[in-house]
Structure 1
Amino acid sequence: MIFPPNFEEKIGFDHIRQMLVDMCVSSMGKEYVEKMRFETVFNRIERKVSQVFEFLEILKYEQPFPAQNYFNLIPELQRIRLSGTYILQEQLFDLKSSLESLNEVIVYLQKLDSAKYTLLSELVEDKRVDRVILNEIYSIIDEKGNVKDTASETLRDIRQRLIKLSGEIEKAVRQVLVTAKKSGWLNPNDEITIRNGRMVIPVPAANKRKIRGFVHDESATGQTVYIEPAEALDANNEILELRNAEKREIIRILTSFTDNLRPKIEELIEGYRFLGLIDFIRAKALLAGKINGTKPFMSNEPLIDWRKALHPLLFLVHQKQKKHVEPLDILLNKENRILIISGPNAGGKSVCLKTTGLIQYMLQCGLLVPMDDNSKTGVFKDIFIDIGDEQSIEDDLSTYTSHLRNMKHLALKANKNSLFLIDEFGSGTEPQLGGAIAEAILEHLNNKGAFGVITTHYANLKHLAGKTPGLINGAMLFDTREMRPLYRLQIGNPGSSFAFEIAKKTGFPWFILRNAERKIGKTQIKFEQQLQQLELEKKELTQKQQSLNEAEKQMNEAKSKYDELTAKLIETKEKTLSDARSEAQRIIADSNKLVENTIREIKEAQAAKERTKKIREKLKVESERILAEPQKKSEAKPVEQTKAVIARSKKEKSAKEDTKILVGNRVRILPQQTVGEVIEITGGEAIVSFGSIMMRAKLEKLVNVGEEEFYQQVMIKKRGGENIFNELNTRMANFSVTLDVRGMRAEEAATAVIQYMDEALLLNIKEVKIIHGKGDGILRKVVRDNLRSIDEVIHIEDEHIERGGSGATVVRLK
């Protein structure tokens, strides 16, 4: 149940409904908008919201959706149900166009991935357009809606006779015209004209009896008469008869078609209703795109757990004015069902109330809502609202009386599935009595388990929330330093009205305020100020704590990387020692083998001096070789590395001294770090090789690197197992084809665009999109001016109207 009857006007939903009407392209879709109602069945709500979410995904990521010629032929189809009636020629053309559009919609939706667009695929799975009907229409009318000559043999014969007679008439009339001109009966410049559908000759009134024929008209002055020559009268009469015959034949053709169409009227009406439903869902998706609507987590229970919720109408107004809207975080659950918001006047209390009512109502009408998609939403059976002045002279109702009447209805009807929204609870009468009645009503609603949001200035209601389970206080924050409201809801503590501070800011007479302070007592005023200041400091401490937690997280990640590197170093060290041990064992084994062979040869030589001497010398040479081998291996590397470093240093020095880019140079493409080799230079561009990948870049974006830097990169890649493919794959995986610069200053946007385009060019991306919003067009101009300065940009255009229009720029690259 929704109360009061003008609920939609009170929360602003009537504006949402009108926006949906404007976004529909057919009267059928608009009828769905008018019939849209508050739903309470969870499965139906979730299904409708999910359908809109799927359609929003189509508008964002798929090909443009067909949305033309959504004509409503239902009234015409219902008219021709009666036997003997026939469809009008103009309506037949609309039937053709709309059936083609219906067929395009069905084919489009059936081609989508059914796993991704489940609900929309279900909508269209049994839908089709009867091709027999379309083919029959094609045989009757052409692309301009005219009945074809080939629609029937009789019609073809009639029209051929008409063409022949028209030619004969024109020939006869022209002969009379030429004769009359030669006789001087006409002005030299007079030509054949048409009157009453017949060819006539303009003749001066003085000569009208010189030409035989029928006078059809005369000029306003009476000086010229329009005569149909007698030679054309019979032929024109026959043409008139043929025209009538043509009309009769067309009616016969349309009647015959209608007779064939009549058995399929119900099927066609169903098709048009489906087309209207698609138009309706599309309009809801367009609205969602406009207000940044999304699908939150949904639960079949009374619950509000919203994060960064925005009032959609306020968001659109502020977006045009380039103003920030403070998002709303609000939680109503079984433990804290009723939120009592207090705070300064003009601080945003009523906006919070309306935001809650409007968003919940939109959701249960099957619309996507503007909030963080991690929010959780529930379903309420009833929504009550009491806001604004409803006094009525006719009904003899004062403001407070109308509030009491609403409270009576709420007290009797509310239950655990109800959501109530009350603005300025208890106001309108003597504060002490009004506060007592409000407190009693609040206790009654709490006992019934209802959910609600109320705004108040009454201290007794704030105290009640502090000690009663199910109730919780909330405050609209106020900056006591700058003396301005922050429009931010803080749940947990009550807020102050800041009446004196606001009065001072408005320039209220100081002496009156000083007298008021004496009456209420400075202690009370200071307490209110300190309470709010504590809330602000608490907020700042929370933000600092979040920053510290983030820093601690980063430090832990750095420590983990350090531990990982240390472990790898230890592993490398152990491997090196193991290799050294293996080498030592090999040397010992070779030495033992050499000694054994030497002893054997001495024994075989039977201690001959010369032979023994030679064997000993051979032993000495082999021993020196074995001992020197590992030393050479260990020394060769440092010597070679030293020489290589010296050579690289010289080359690096010369490369730095000579910044000119030449074929064969080692270079980097700014601002990237990967080093490649210049393969070719043409004009002001160069082709750079990164392994097997070739890239084109401007010369001014290249910088020479020394061999040392190149050598280090090669060694790093060898040790880490990384290469250019890994880097490019990582960049490609992290690259987004859409850049959003909304909210940036002009300078920030310009820098972001240049860096983004450099990355796109490096990755050889052919098309990107930059979202800058519409607004006053400043960001759009900055973005496009920077894009025009990039030679690789070959085309710039506005995004499709359904995906942002002039609020986004599509860029195509070479």
Structure 2
Amino acid sequence: MKLFPLESADKLGLDIVLDRLKTHFRGEATARSQHDFLNPGSHEAVRAELGYVDELQQCLRFDDPIQFLDFPDIQEFLARVLPEGAVLDALELRSIARVLQLAERIGTYFGRRKEKYPLISAELINLVVPSSPADTILGAIEDTGEIRDSASPELNRIRRELVSARGSVRAAAMKALVRASSDGFAADDQPTIRAGRVVIPVRAEAKRKVAGFVHDASATGQTVYIEPEAALHGNNRVRELELEEVREIFLIRERLSSAVRLVLPHTREIRQRLTLFDFRLAKATLGNEMSAIVPKVGNEGVIQIQDGFNPALVLHFNNEGKKRKVIPFSVELGKEHDVLIISGPNAGGKSITMKGIGLITAMVAMGMPVPVDDRSRVDVFDALYSDIGDEQSLSDDLSTFTSHLKNLSSILDSATDRSLVLIDEAGTGTDPEAGGALARAVLEQLLMSGVRTVVTTHFGPLKVFAHETERVANGSMVFDQSELRPTYEFVFGLPGSSYATEISQRAGMPDSVLTRAHELMDGGHASAEALIAELMERNNSLAQSLEETDRVRSELSLQRNTLASRLSSIEEEKQGIREKALEQADAIVRGANRAIERTIREIKESGADKEKTKSARDRLKRTGETLTNESKRTEKKKATRKKRRVEKTTGSSPIGLGDQVRMENATTVGEVLELEGKDALVAFGSMQMRSPIARLVKVGGKAKQQVSVKQSLSASGGLTAHDVRTRLDIRGKRVEEAYSEVVPFVDRGMAAGLSRMEVVHGKGTGALRQILHEILGSMDGVKGFEEAPLSEGGAGVTIIHFD
């Protein structure tokens, strides 16, 4: 995407985003390649790039950590090793090996996750180099660049001999030093090294009394360093072995350089792919940091931002550690409107909103996720033109107004229906009437060319122009008149007042000045400002009413589910009591049968003996009396329960249609809608349930009817698909919080006639997923639900289907 003028990137806040992006780079070459990577090109290329980044976002959120470490830029090393016979130094070879090893690790990671991340896996499929020299190089060279003894058998032999030779020559030198010390010639008690040879320190005046060769003297001249004759052969051997070591190390480096040369084309490609992967991973990391997503992307010049946040503002507050809340905005361009005119008070957020639209559009064109709701769509534009801020130029002798005119002239010459234009404070810097007329003429020209345009202004005529002209829309920033401060909330479709008097009053302007200013103000202008303020106040009131309606609906849904759960528990208890009663009755019958059988058996065995027969009959009589008493106690308990139910049911009067009742052991009050036999149909808010009358408690008679008129949610009188979100994120919520959000979310989706919605709950312990599925399973109108495909979140997302 082309940006004009060049400094518009900084004015939009793109510099803040890119500076933060750089902090997530792992490769030395990534920052230098950033400019190439930030311009994918066509909308197909942008969509593909966003697909890669989206997969990486999901991977960072839900999968195992990606072990992607810092890596050097090896481009220069690869160029130097290209000529046959070229030899790299040890650290350069190790840098190349580190890159090859990292590529193999990343390729293996995503090779095992082809189904989850098909785009990234296909991009990294060739990162594993056949016959890679990485392990050989890393096995031969230390982190410090030293060649290991194990790099070759010959080097190992040379170094073992070096250790032995150095020990021998040091022992010979030490022996000569002890002798010189006993003669009083030594200047120190330890041998040292000079010019790579072991020497002993001797006082200058005694240098001719010690047999050997003088190699050096101290700075004061009082000490000379002599190589003893006994150490001469040993020093020569050490020097020979050191030269052999140098030659062998060179041969090792030459051999490793040749191995790199064999895989040079593949290594170049790996460097490029790793750098691109690093850039995409940084974009995904930044996106998750901002809670950003990949929106829908098209090629028709459409911008539909739902609950969008200015990315620069989000990063600024995060960086400063501020807990200030960034206010979201929703806006539409390219469908019904091509030009949006934003008005409202100074410091109310007009420019921030306009810049947020431009910045989100620019970031999408660069293949970056943006902080918007998943219902959003941001198409790819060829160019973004802006006229923002004070462009006064002392060097060119241009005034602020003249600078604006030059920018606008360039925009009118270059902008097409594939461009987005941002104009801040249109018409300012000159006579208000002439400036307003000029601004309108510019907007009319841009409108005729089909250019998507966003303008901020205080001029009333431009607000009227938006109201009266097809494909031009008003927008405004909300001002809290009770607190005399801006709320930074954006309202689409309504013009805004500048609230100059109110803000002046807050700033401490004298009342006499404010009164006189009001008197001088044009009557029509004053009336228009008052009308706009009234409209804004009504809009705020309607928004609050809608929010309260949603809250009440959520509470009623919670009560409905609580009652349903309680009813289920009662039914289970009832079934348990019934089963227990049957078991007791069966036990009584079995006991009676056993008593009778025992009596008959005793009578038969006694041969009808009178005494035994009388005794058996007495036991049978006692058993009968016991069973009779048990039956009476059961009947008495049953009669008592029935009496209590009758008392609860009748109270002071029987339950009738329209009476206010509640369930036993409950507090929620409902209204009786129907009476049928021993059952009643009761409405508890929006939920209806049938219950035995015996389990209802009358708390009052018929309620007085109330009639209220509510603002419809849309022109058609109900919710539409554009009014509701299709995706809800409940990660990190407690079960109670998730419940209170899911029910109204699903209710709104059903009311809007949606066929499909999504809830993001993450994987975690599975508690949120379980409670979500329990809620969905109990809701009428939910056709079914299922785990999302891997490309859409897998087990961390549930897709809901409606009838």
Report the TM-score, using the length of structure 2 for normalisation.
Answer: 0.69
Aligned: 1:327 with 2:305: no
In structure 2, give the amino acid aligned to 1:184.
G
In structure 2, give the amino acid aligned to 1:197.
G
- Deviations 1:468-525 (CA, angstroms, capped at 9, x unpaired): 1101111111112211111111112211112222222222344443332222157744
* SS class of match (1:119): helix
Shift of 1:350: 1.0
Name the structure 2 match of 1:402.
403
| Partner Cα separation in structure 2 for residue 642 and residue 511 of structure 1 | 82
Gap change, CA 1:226 and 1:129, over 3 Å in 2: same
Name the structure 2 match of 1:202.
201
Structural RMSD (CA): 4.1
* SS class of match (1:496): coil
Aligned: 1:382 with 2:383: yes
Name the structure 2 match of 1:231.
230
Name the structure 2 match of 1:242.
241
Gap change, CA 1:634 and 1:495, over 3 Å in 2: farther
Gap change, CA 1:497 and 1:137, over 3 Å in 2: same
Name the structure 2 match of 1:218.
217
* SS class of match (2:395): coil
* SS class of match (1:489): strand
In structure 2, give the amino acid aligned to 1:81.
L
| Partner Cα separation in structure 2 for residue 163 and residue 552 of structure 1 | 86
- Map residues 20-419 of structure 1 onto 2, 5 A cutoff: 20-112=21-113, 114-137=114-137, 140-142=140-142, 145-186=145-186, 190-319=189-318, 320-419=321-420
Shift of 1:49: 1.7
- Deviations 1:508-548 (CA, angstroms, capped at 9, x unpaired): 34444333222215774465245324413321222223322
- Deviations 1:109-137 (CA, angstroms, capped at 9, x unpaired): 2122x232221112122331334423442
| Partner Cα separation in structure 2 for residue 156 and residue 39 of structure 1 | 53
In structure 1, give the amino acid aligned to 2:182.
K
| Partner Cα separation in structure 2 for residue 641 and residue 107 of structure 1 | 76
- Deviations 1:245-272 (CA, angstroms, capped at 9, x unpaired): 3222222232233234323201111111
Gap change, CA 1:55 and 1:738, over 3 Å in 2: farther
Q: Contact between 1:28 and 1:273, CA under 8 Å: does it hold in 2?
A: no
| Partner Cα separation in structure 2 for residue 233 and residue 272 of structure 1 | 52
Unmatched 5+ residue regions in structure 2? 582-619, 642-728, 736-763, 769-803
| Partner Cα separation in structure 2 for residue 358 and residue 69 of structure 1 | 30
* SS class of match (2:77): helix
In structure 2, give the amino acid aligned to 1:251.
F
| Partner Cα separation in structure 2 for residue 372 and residue 397 of structure 1 | 43
- Map residues 649-664 of structure 1 onto 2, 5 A cutoff: none
Name the structure 1 match of 2:468.
467
- Deviations 1:727-756 (CA, angstroms, capped at 9, x unpaired): xxxxxxx9977879xxxxxxxxxxxxxxxx
Shift of 1:221: 2.7
| Partner Cα separation in structure 2 for residue 341 and residue 481 of structure 1 | 22
* SS class of match (1:27): coil
Task: Point out the more displaced range, 453-462 or 229-238.
Answer: 229-238
Q: Contact between 2:37 and 2:276, CA under 8 Å: does it hold in 1?
A: no
Aligned: 1:420 with 2:421: yes
Gap change, CA 1:306 and 1:144, over 3 Å in 2: same
Q: Contact between 1:40 and 1:379, CA under 8 Å: does it hold in 2?
A: no
* SS class of match (2:263): helix
| Partner Cα separation in structure 2 for residue 153 and residue 556 of structure 1 | 79
* SS class of match (1:474): strand
Gap change, CA 1:354 and 1:255, over 3 Å in 2: same
* SS class of match (1:83): coil
- Deviations 1:670-720 (CA, angstroms, capped at 9, x unpaired): xxxxxxxxxxxxxxxxxxxxxxxxxxxxxxxxxxxxxxxxxxxxxxxxxxx
Unmatched 5+ residue regions in structure 1? 581-621, 644-733, 741-763, 769-814
Name the structure 1 match of 2:532.
531
Shift of 1:99: 2.0
Gap change, CA 1:139 and 1:495, over 3 Å in 2: closer
* SS class of match (1:103): helix
Shift of 1:389: 1.9
Shift of 1:560: 9.0
In structure 2, give the amino acid aligned to 1:363.
V
| Partner Cα separation in structure 2 for residue 307 and residue 281 of structure 1 | 25
Q: Contact between 1:382 and 1:419, CA under 8 Å: does it hold in 2?
A: yes
Name the structure 2 match of 1:5.
6
In structure 1, give the amino acid aligned to 2:205.
A
In structure 2, give the amino acid aligned to 1:226.
Y
* SS class of match (1:425): coil
* SS class of match (2:393): coil
Name the structure 1 match of 2:682.
none
Aligned pairs, number: 615
- Deviations 1:250-309 (CA, angstroms, capped at 9, x unpaired): 222322332343232011111111211221112112211222222223334322221222
Q: Contact between 2:17 and 2:315, CA under 8 Å: does it hold in 1?
A: no
Gap change, CA 1:233 and 1:570, over 3 Å in 2: closer
| Partner Cα separation in structure 2 for residue 138 and residue 39 of structure 1 | 36
Shift of 1:439: 0.8
| Partner Cα separation in structure 1 for residue 43 and residue 369 of structure 2 | 15
- Map residues 695-710 of structure 1 onto 2, 5 A cutoff: none
- Map residues 641-790 of structure 1 onto 2, 5 A cutoff: none
Shift of 1:160: 3.5
Name the structure 2 match of 1:801.
none
Name the structure 1 match of 2:545.
544
Q: Contact between 2:14 and 2:312, CA under 8 Å: does it hold in 1?
A: no
- Deviations 1:625-667 (CA, angstroms, capped at 9, x unpaired): 99x9999768547669999xxxxxxxxxxxxxxxxxxxxxxxx
In structure 2, give the amino acid aligned to 1:221.
T
Gap change, CA 1:738 and 1:436, over 3 Å in 2: closer
Gap change, CA 1:507 and 1:60, over 3 Å in 2: same
Name the structure 1 match of 2:791.
none
